[in-house]
Amino acid sequence: MTTRQIQTIILDWAGTTVDFGSRAPVAALERVFAAHGIQLSSSEARKDMGLLKRDHIRSILQQPRIRKAWAELNGAAPGEQEAELLFREFLPIQSGVLDEFSDVIPGVVETVSTWRSYGLRIGATTGYTKALMEIVTLHAGKQGYAPDVSVTPDMVGCGRPAPLMVYRNAIETGTYPLWRFVKIGDTPVDMQEGRNAGTWTIGITRTGNEVGLSESEWAALGADAQEQRLLQADRVLREAGACYTAPSVAECTPILEEIGERLAAGERP
């Protein structure tokens, strides 16, 4: 198998391996902001998805509409103190919804099993904290999905787009060089994380944040609407640094074969 040129796959969690549509973070963020009188839209919540959640909340507070609404309600624009307050409130709310939104995405268990049969190591990075990931990994493990290594931002001191979580995966799996790694995720910062680490990158469209629909919502769309959603997600992820895109993890194996062939020919990401 030409995939033997690859050593390690680094997978994202929400929207990539679990939580079809990456709905858990959106649900929690909407509830946190609603408690302060601000109705957050799905698109506002999804902007900058994949960041460490503290950084994600900071980013939301800097969006012009949100910043203006906060100032009108509270008499002053939000700053670091408000971001920390919302992050503290976010954590228990997110914990409370993770069981509802942590189902493994169809095809992931079987695909990862196939990759392991090729001798590939399976790592993971996320925007969730270690405490939140304990809930997700427990739920996913019961459904048959467990990476060899899973690294969170609080384990390395920062989140995406910095490459440190990928580096920690390399250390924990004992594999290198990083040009023999493939990072797979569904957000622009996933792609930036991989490129900053020096890996190949695959952006996930249909099951991920850029489409942002549950499995049933996706199935209810007409073919033309589905195609437009996929094209838009493809554009965003490629602009962020995706070497390839795929609708789901289950459809990435042919891409790994191609990457293996390119590596065998001496190409680098």
Structural Rg of the chain based on CA atoms = 18
CATH superfamily of 2-21+104-264: HAD superfamily/HAD-like (3.40.50.1000)
What would the pLDDT profile of 44-96 be if each residue is shown by its tens digit?
999 999 998 999 999 999 999 999 999 999 999 999 999 999 999 999 999 99
Angle between helices 64-74 and 53-61 (to 10 degrees): 80
DSSP letter (8 states) at residue 105: P
Q: Is the pLDDT of residue 185 over 80?
A: yes
**How confident is the model at residue 119, as a pLDDT?**
94
CA-CA distance, 266 to 269, in Å (whole number)? 10
What would the pLDDT profile of 189-237 be if each residue is shown by its tens digit?
999 999 999 999 999 999 999 999 999 999 999 999 999 999 999 999 9
The pLDDT mean for the chain works out to: 96
- Report residue 245 as tokens: 């895109």
Q: Provide mean pLDDT across the span 250-254.
A: 98
The CATH number of the structural domain formed by 24-98 is 1.10.150.240
Instruction: Indicate which residue of 12, 55, 186, 234 is catalytic.
Output: 12
Q: Is the pLDDT of residue 1 over 60?
A: no
Burial letters for 89-120: b for 16+ Cβ neighbours within 10 Å, e otherwise?
bbbeebeebbeebbebbeebbebbeebeebeb
Annotated active-site residue 53? The verdict is yes
Within 10 A of 227 (CB to CB), how many other CB atoms are there? 11
Instruction: Indicate which residue of 19, 48, 53, 234 is catalytic.
Output: 53
Within 10 A of 39 (CB to CB), how many other CB atoms are there? 9
State the pTM of this model. Answer: 0.94
Domains 2-21+104-264 and 24-98 share a fold: no
Q: Is the pLDDT of residue 4 over 90?
A: no
Annotated active-site residue 12? The verdict is yes
CA-CA distance, 129 to 152, in Å (whole number)? 6
Q: Which of the four pLDDT bands, split at 50, 70 and 90, describes residue 3?
A: low
CA-CA distance, 173 to 234, in Å (whole number)? 30
List CB contacts of 30: < 8 A, sequence separation 6 or more. 39, 40, 42, 45
Backbone phi, psi, residue 159, to 5°: -110, -165
**How confident is the model at residue 99, as a pLDDT?**
85
In the chain, where the domains are located: 2-21+104-264, 24-98
